[in-house]
Amino acid sequence: MDALILQSLLPGLAEELRGRPVTKVELVGRTGVLLRFGGSRRLLFLSAHPELSRVGLIGRPPPLGEPRPAPSALGEPLKRSRLVRVGQPAGERIAILEFENEEQRHTRPRLVVELIPRFANVILVGNEDRVLWTLRDFGGERGRTITSGQPYVSPESAPGRGLADVTEAILRERLDATPADAPFHRRIPRAWGGGAHGFLRAFEAAGADVPTLLLHLAEAAARPVPSLVRTGDGELFLVPADPGDVPGLESTRDADPHVTVDRWYREREREEATDSLATDLRRVLVRRRGRAAKALQQIESRLADSGRAEELRASAELLAAHQGQLRRGMNRVRLPRFDGSGDVEIALDPKLDAAANVEAMFKKSRRAARGLDELLAQKSIQETELEDVDRGLAALETDPAPEALRALAAEFAPSLLSAKPTRTVATKPEAERHPSLPEGFQPRVYDLPGGWVVWVGRNARQNDELSHRRASNKDLWFHARGAQGSHTVLRMNSGKGEPPKEILEMTASIAAFHSKARNSRLVPVSYCEKRYVRKPRGAPAGTASIMREKVLMVEPKEPAGA
C-alpha cells in the first residue's frame, strides 16, 4: 500500500475507532490480523502480505480463510484495550496504532504496521519499546532484527519526495535532468506514483498531460480521497485524488475510501487465496502419490517373497544356530544345511549385528507367510489411491474455478479448508485431567460409546511411555500398518466385557487418523493385546514389534460420537 493511500485512510479509521475497546483479536490466513471493536460494525484488517500489505476498515473478513484465535502474546495485551491514537510518520508506509489499558502489564501497547514491499509486518510493541509479538520474524533483513523480546527499531526512511512535496519548479527540474525519451513514470521518484498503484502509467498510456495532472494531485494531496480508476483494458488503479477528466479513463468513486481500497485488494486476495490453495493441494497430492507408490513397491516385494516363507524360515533358523559365526559388516555367509545336503549362502545386512540379522530374517519369514489375500487387498487399495491422486493432479492441471478447486480440496485434503489452530505451549490445568489418566501423563484421550476409553500418544517419547509403562497387559494396542503414527491403546478396564466390533473399528480409525496414512481412503491397522508388544533392545523411542496381530481395514477418521 502506497503511503498516500494509507494517509487517506487513517483519518476515517481514527474517527470510527478512537476510544473503542478491542473485543477480539484473530489471525486470517498466513499474514493477516483482524481486530474487532466494541460499538463498531466494521472490522480493522492489517495485512503483512509481501505484495498485498494493507490497513483498512472492512465489512466482512477477507477471502483468505476462516479467522482463528490469535496467540496469547498478541491477544492478551490488546484485549479490552482502547484505541487512543492513530499515526503515520510523514511520507512513510507505516501505520502506528496506540492503545491504552491500565489493567494490563503493558499499559500502552502499540501496533506498528509496516507496509514495506517484501518486508511487510505487523508488530506489537510493549511499554519498554520491546517487541512482544511479530507476525513475521526477520533476522537482520534490511539491517535490523525483528523478533520477540528484542528492542523495536524503526525502518529507515524511504528516499525521495512524497507527492505532497511536489511543486512546479521541482517537477520541471526533475524532468530536465532525465532523458526525454524515458517513460514518464521512470523519470520521477518512485514515491511520486511509480509504485504498485502506478496511476502515472495509466495517465501516460491515455495520452494525458501528466505533469499538469501531477501538480493537480499534489495540490490535493493534503486531503486525498482514493478513486478506483479503470483503464480501457480493464486494469484497476488506485489514485490519491480525483484525476478529473482524463481521456481514455473511466473513474468511479465510493463515498468511503475504505470501501474503494477493500474492493481493490479483496479481488487480488481472492486470487491469492485460490493460488495458495492450489499450491497446497498439489503438494498434498504429490506427497500422497509418493507414499502410495512406495507402499505399492513394498507390497510387490512382499508378494514376490510370499512363496519363499519356508525357505526364509529355514535360513533364519540356520542363522540362529550359527550366530557365533556372524559379525557386523558381513554382507553374506555360507552355512551347512541341517540335513547335510550341502551349503546355503544367506544374504545379511552389514549394518546389523548377529542377533539383529537373525531377528530380521525371522521377521521377513513371518511377513512372507502372511495371507496372500491380505497382500492383494493392500495392493488394490494402493492402486486405487494412485488412481485417485492422479485424477486430482490432472484436475489441477486444468486450472479449475475457485468453486471446483474447493471441491477438490474437500475431497482430497479437507484440512486445507479448515482453520489451523494456533500453537500454544499452555498445558491443561490439573482440574481438567481426564479421570482415566495417571498424574504426569497427558496423551490424547477419546471417550467412546459404552464407557470405553482410548489413549493416543502425541510423540515418540509418549508412545514409549504409553506402550511400555502405562498400558496394562490386557489392554488392546493399535497401530497403522506400514506407516508412522501414534501408538493407540483401548483400555480394557474402561468398558464392560469384551469390546464389540464397532468399538474395535472406532479405535482402529483413530489410530489410522493419527498416522502418516491419514489421507488414504482405507488403512490397514494392526492390533493385539499389549502383552504381545515388545521394544527391541537399543531401538529408538517409539519403536515396537508385535506378535499375534490381527488386522482391520478402516477409514482414518475421528469417529462420530467419540
User: Cβ distance 560 to 480 under 8 Å?
Assistant: no
Within its chain, how far is the Cα of 253 from the centroid? 38
Q: Consecutive sets of 10 residues in the chain, 562 residues long: mean pLDDT of each?
A: 80 92 91 92 93 90 86 90 90 89 86 88 89 80 73 70 66 74 67 54 69 70 62 60 60 75 84 85 91 87 73 88 90 89 90 91 78 73 89 89 85 71 38 64 87 90 87 91 89 86 93 88 89 83 85 88 71
Q: Which of 361, 357, 380 has its CA nearest to residue 369?
A: 361
Backbone φ and ψ for 89, nearest 5 degrees, come out as: -55, 140
If phi over 0 gives left and psi between -120 and 50 gives alpha, with beta otherwise, what is residue 427? beta
- DSSP category for residue 143: G
Helix (H, G, I), strand (E, B) or coil at 533: strand
Separation of first and last alpha carbons in the chain: 48
- DSSP category for residue 53: -
Beta bridge partners of 554: 523
d(CA 92, CA 2): 9
What is the pLDDT, as a whole number, of residue 247?
58
Q: Which of 153, 373, 389, 227 has its CA nearest to residue 293?
A: 389
Cell readout for 37 is 471493536
> Concatenated DSSP letters for 179-201?
-TTS-GGGSS-GGGTTSTT-HHH
Using CB atoms within 10 A of its CB, is residue 251 exposed (0-12), middle (13-18) or buried (19+)? middle
- Mark out the alpha helices in 370-500 (DSSP H runs): 372-397, 402-412, 460-465
Q: Which of 460, 501, 495, 448 has its CA nearest to residue 474?
A: 495
> Around Cβ 420, how many Cβ atoms within 10 Å?
13
Within its chain, how far is the Cα of 302 from the centroid? 36
- Mark out the alpha helices in 177-331 (DSSP H runs): 199-205, 210-220, 257-305, 309-321
Q: Which of 85, 91, 88 has its CA nearest to residue 109?
A: 85
For cell 489471525, what's the residue? 27
Helix (H, G, I), strand (E, B) or coil at 346: strand
> Around Cβ 537, how many Cβ atoms within 10 Å?
8
d(CA 450, CA 472): 20
Lay out the sheet containing 131-134: strands in order across: 82-87, 94-100, 110-114, 121-125, 131-134
> Around Cβ 64, how many Cβ atoms within 10 Å?
23
For cell 489418566, what's the residue? 437
> Around Cβ 75, how many Cβ atoms within 10 Å?
19
Using CB atoms within 10 A of its CB, is residue 207 exposed (0-12), middle (13-18) or buried (19+)? exposed
What is the pLDDT, as a whole number, of residue 433?
60
Q: Which of 120, 122, 116, 119 has its CA nearest to residue 134?
A: 122
d(CA 562, CA 444): 12
Packed helices 309-321 and 354-369: angle between N→C axes, nearest 10 degrees: 160
What is the pLDDT, as a whole number, of residue 428?
38
